[in-house]
Amino acid sequence: MYLKIILFNILFFTLVGLQAQENKKSFKQSLSSSLVVETDVSIEFKSGGLQKTEWLLKPEFSYRLSKNSRFVFKGQMYTELNDHLEAAVPKQETVSKFSKRLFIGDRANLEVREFYFYTNFRKKLRLTIGKQQIVWGETDGLKLLDVVNPQNFREFILDDFEDSRIPLWSVKAEFDLKNIGVQFVWVPDNTYHITQDFEAPYFTKSLFQSPPEGMTIRFDKTIKPKRFIADSDVGLKLSTFTKGWDLSLNYLYYYDDLPVFYSHLELSETNAPLVAIRPKFERQHLIGGTFNTVLGSSTFRGEIAYILDQNFSSIDSNAPLGVETSNNFKSALGIDYIKGENVISFQVFSDIITEHISAYNRDTFETNTSLQLSREFMNDNLKAEVLWVHNANHGDGFVRPQLSYWMNTNTQLFLGSSIFYGNGNQLFGQFSDRSRISLGMRWGI
């Protein structure tokens, strides 16, 4: 309630002040709008059945108040005709009441994707207030620094980053100190990752240890932060360009968007042993940065992230509540090569646990690689691309080939596939039965 009151007052009084100064323009001149309609049908290879049949309507409105200020609204109506990806109506326990979707039956929902006010005060302070996406990362396929906004894992990581990110009510202030760009972020919206239930196609079972034979698992209610100020996330980003290098330094004090799964043994009502799991969101500090430079026809780029006090599920029987803590160092190095209509992008991701702990279902030093190839044909109307992500430790991964074709300036068709492989206990291999072929269309006005 406090969040809505504060944001409403800020937006209202800013609007009144700006309207008193703006030049007289018609409503039609100040308002711009667009609508994108998307449809996607996916069929699983193994079962031969429909994995999803979804339709999306994405209206967008922008109202210019003055030369330097505007309101932006982006909505979404989503329907999944077969109700496979999110069975019934999700409880939305990890979503704040300000960001929840409005469900219409089991198969459709309405969502305010973004609704913010942007203004530029005398070309010195750029302020964005409202529901928005704040993007820090630059990697492809996998995320490293892009942790300000949580993610909907309805389709694991197959959705486009922009669609899978959950926009949050937040404030972003940007200004320059000589040759250094400063960005300050305040996020009072207590919304976290949306993960799926046991029955959903993309339930991430690799996160949980199988109980000993004869025992069952009970999930208790997730302990979620609720305080408006004290539980807010805050971040700072400094960026600059020097001697041919784009550089940034990032800091975020935040709640990890994935809860810690504390566990203990207890007896059920029938005196049978069971494992009780109590998820709880915990605080973390992240320090990181990005760097990139142009080398001839190539761009060399990288990201680093150092997370303090990351919590890991443990296989050590002596670990308190089944959890151990360690700092976590992550890095990504990539190179993009462009020649004519051809683009080749290669990345190496490293994930290192710095302490000697026994984390569940992962090694102390994990390495993922990605290779993305793309080429455009027919005056850029036809694009062929493929993304391959592979885990070097466990031998699992996925491949995503896709063709997209612009029939005209407003209509795009695409045909693609998502093929998972590897051990069923690993992050990517667990979805080997979910490999699919997809056909879809995007139409905009």
The answer to the question of residue 393 being in a domain is: no
Domain range for 18 is 2-326
Residue 25: pLDDT above 70?
Answer: no
- Average pLDDT over every residue of 430-442: 96
Token readout for 372 is 């993305």
Calpha distance 55→98 (Å, rounded): 24
Closest CA to 396 of 416, 358, 371, 369: 369
Report the length, in residues, of the chain. 445
List, in sequence order, every beta strand (DSSP E) within 68-146. 69-80, 102-104, 108-121, 125-132
Task: Dump pLDDT digits (tens) for 144-186.
Answer: 999 999 999 999 999 999 999 999 999 999 999 999 999 999 9
Q: What is the mean pLDDT of residues 95-103?
A: 93
pLDDT number for residue 267: 80
Lowest mean pLDDT among 5-9, 45-49, 138-142: 5-9
379 domain residue, yes or no: no
59 inside domain: yes
Distance CA 430, CA 423 (A): 7
Q: pLDDT tens digit string along 335-373?
A: 999 999 999 999 999 999 999 999 999 999 999 999 999
What is the predicted pLDDT for the residue at 350?
Answer: 98
- pLDDT value of position 209: 81
In this structure, is residue 207 part of a structural domain?
yes
The pLDDT-based confidence of 331 (bands split at 50, 70, 90) is very high
What is the structure's pLDDT at 417?
98
Q: Is residue 187 part of a domain?
A: yes
Contact 406, 381 (CB under 8 A): yes
Per-residue pLDDT tens over the stretch 42-86: 999 999 999 999 999 999 999 999 989 999 999 999 999 888 888
Q: Tell me the average pLDDT of the chain.
A: 91
CA atoms within 13 A on the CB side of 133: 17
3-state secondary structure of 84: coil
Give me the pLDDT at residue 2, please: 45
Q: Is residue 4's pLDDT more than 70?
A: no
Q: What is the mean pLDDT of residues 384-399?
A: 98
Q: Which long-range contacts (CB under 8 A, 24 or more apart) does 270-277 make?
A: 272/214, 272/215, 272/216, 273/212, 273/214, 273/215, 274/211, 274/215, 274/216, 274/217, 274/218, 275/211, 275/215, 275/216, 275/217, 275/218, 276/218, 276/220, 277/208, 277/217, 277/218, 277/219, 277/220
| 406 domain residue, yes or no | no
How many domains does the structure of the chain reveal? 1
- Which pLDDT band, with edges at 50, 70 and 90, does 207 fall under? confident
pLDDT range class, residue 275, cuts 50, 70, 90: confident
Backbone angles phi, psi at 14, to 5 degrees: -65, -40
**Residue 184 counted as domain residue:** yes
412 in any annotated domain: no
Which one, of 437, 440, 431, lies nearest residue 154 by Cα?
Answer: 431
Q: Are 324 and 316 a contacting pair, CB within 8 Å?
A: yes
The pLDDT of residue 256: 97
The CB density around residue 71, as the number of other CB atoms within 10 Å, is: 20
